[in-house]
A and B are shown apart, each in its own frame.
Chain A
Amino acid sequence: MKPFVYHQPKSIEEASVLSAKNWEEAVLFAGGTDVLGLLKDGIEEPKEVINLKGLEGLDQIDFTKGKELRIGALVKIAQIAEHPAIKQSFPALAQAAAQTASPQLRNMGTIGGNICQRPRCWYFRGDFHCLRKGGDECFAVEGENKYHCVIGGGPCYIVHPSDLTVVLQALGAKVTIVWKGGQKTVPTSQFFVLPEEDLYRENILKPGEIVTHIHIPVPDSKMKSGYLKFKERDVWDFAVVSVAASVRIANGRIESGRIVFGGVAPKPWEEETLNRELKGLPLKDADLQKLKALALKEAEPLEQNAYKIPLARNLMLSLLKELMPIIPN
């Protein structure tokens, strides 16, 4: 690891000031599970590392009944997986947390770091001067692209690696971003960006901006949510494909719902057409099959990743069947 200057600010303001340079200059560091990997491999070689662990008040989970769940950015993944109220009211989130990485990494990694982590594309992580690192080629396009995106890509074909983001978006979560002199709260659907919007970053954060909290509205009793993650190997692996859904069920129909896919696109992937189709859908197998044909309809797989499309569709169906009593044909 290249030596760096180390800061451990005591206030968000101080952290914001320290990090308000450019990305090459200073990097934010929370649990460090992702950043350390980047530093060790020389993918990022910042002059300064700003450790956020000293910031007060960001390590809390606050649950206001009937209102919202607020998770501080420094809350560990393991705390989310084990939190009784989250397990009770947001099972999809607890499941996603429990399926992230490995036990040790869940004890180390934070939710803030998880949603801000960099892509796992092996060209990005490897010794390749790729587009995302300022080069002029995406090596995945003509290369080994089994794990790359099938939709939303171009000119770079990463997938967003986080499990939690997929669920957060399905649950309608918002992210609070703070900087010196200001703050805003945005839905996750507006937090992540595609390569065509920003080739070098995966989200809207600017230098000096820090994610402090995640807010999740508390669902009513008719809402059900779930998460299915498909990975080749049960531990460590990021999702090959994952799907999160939250659906409101009333009178034998889906009243409304959101389906979000992970592992298929450079950001958590949500399709308006699919969500619209969910509205008023009867809980019948035949109707679900229609959904299947609709999901990822615009996908354009690369040479080695076409399997992700049937995989995502099958997972979606399995998840919906888990969440709802389906009437067979």
Chain B
Amino acid sequence: MPNKKKPSSLSRRQFIKGVSTGVAGTIATTKLARALPIEKLEKAAPPEGHLPLELKVNGKPYQLYVEPQTTLVEVLRNELQLTGTKVSCNHGECGACTVLLDGKAVYSCHILALDAQGKSVTTIEGLLNGEELHPIQKAFIKKDGYQCGFCTPGQIMSTQALLLKNPNPTKEEILDGLSGNLCRCGAYPKIIESVEEAAKVK
């Protein structure tokens, strides 16, 4: 497991050390509601009841303080303002919040932010290269793999997880791979075509 060497429950000292050797340059450029510049982190005690969280989102390292009950999607949407990730059921029962955690699809609404400690998160925004769409995203446009679009980021992230693991899925494997994402509009036939198209293009 990637986080094995690095105990997830870092002491403040360890945390700050990790920060100052690694990613100090990046932190200033991130726009975080609660992510403090490094000097302040050293001095400021964390807000009461908060714990430090260090994770990578779409390739960028972030450090912030969270309450332990904070879910990953709350960090993504509220703190990092990555609103492409949606919340629809908030119980791991629909897939709208799907993101990749170390390359695997998970429900970001149903995982504690602290469980992403030291891990790498990819959201729908992370698939783009600047303004350039990822081939999967293009495939969803080409094949009309959506209607209202609210579940679409989740569908696309599940497609990404599937194709990372299995670049040439069969129809059955596509159905399995996307089965954890509801589409209330019922765009499934076109979603299936979109995944097939994405697999072909990749």
Q: Tell me whether A37 and B92 are in contact (CB under 8 A).
A: yes
Q: Is the Cβ of A107 less than 8 Å from the Cβ of B8?
A: no
Interface-side segment among A3-11, A183-191, A204-212, A293-301: A3-11
- Assess whether B144 is interfacial by the CB under 8 Å rule: no
Known interface pairs A37-B92, A53-B8. Does A103 touch B69 (Cβ–Cβ under 8 Å)? no
Q: Which residues of A contact B67 (CB under 8 A)?
A: 3
In the bound complex, do residue B180 and residue A105 qualify as a contact, i.e. CB atoms below 8 Å apart? yes
Chain A residues closer than 8 Å to B111, beta-carbon distance: 32, 36, 108
6 nearest CB pairs, A to B = A102-B180, A6-B68, A8-B9, A1-B69, A235-B179, A104-B180
Are A3 and B69 in contact, CB atoms less than 8 angstroms apart?
A: yes
A54 close to B105 (CB less than 8 A): no
The reply to whether B106 and A49 contact each other, CB–CB distance below 8 Å, is: no
B176 and A105 contact, CB distance less than 8 A: no
B158 in contact (CB, < 8 A): yes
Task: Specify which chain B residues have a CB less than 8 angstroms from the CB of A104 in the assembled complex.
Answer: 92, 95, 98, 105-107, 158, 180
Instruction: Check if A103 sits within 8 Å of B180, measured CB to CB.
Output: yes
- In whole angstroms, what is the CA distance A4 to B68 when docked? 7
List chain B positions with a Cβ less than 8 A from chain A: 1, 4, 7-9, 49, 51, 67-69, 71, 90-93, 95, 98, 101, 104-107, 110-112, 114-115, 158, 161, 176-177, 179-180
Is residue A89 contacting chain B, with contact meaning CB distance below 8 A? no
A: number of interface residues (CB 8 Å): 32
Tell me if A39 counts as interface (CB < 8 A to partner B): yes
- 5 interchain pairs, CB-CB under 8 A: A37-B110, A102-B95, A102-B179, A105-B92, A235-B179
Contacts of B106 in A (CB 8 A): 104, 107-108
Does any Cβ of B come within 8 Å of A236's Cβ? yes
Q: How far is the CB of B14 from chain A (nearest CB, A)?
A: 13
Pairwise interchain contact B107-A49, C-beta atoms closer than 8 A: no
Give chain A interface residues in 14-73, CB to chain B under 8 Å. 32-33, 36-37, 39-40, 49, 51, 53-54, 56, 59
Q: Which residue of A lies closest to B103 (CB)?
A: A107
Docked pose: A196 CA to B56 CA in angstroms: 49
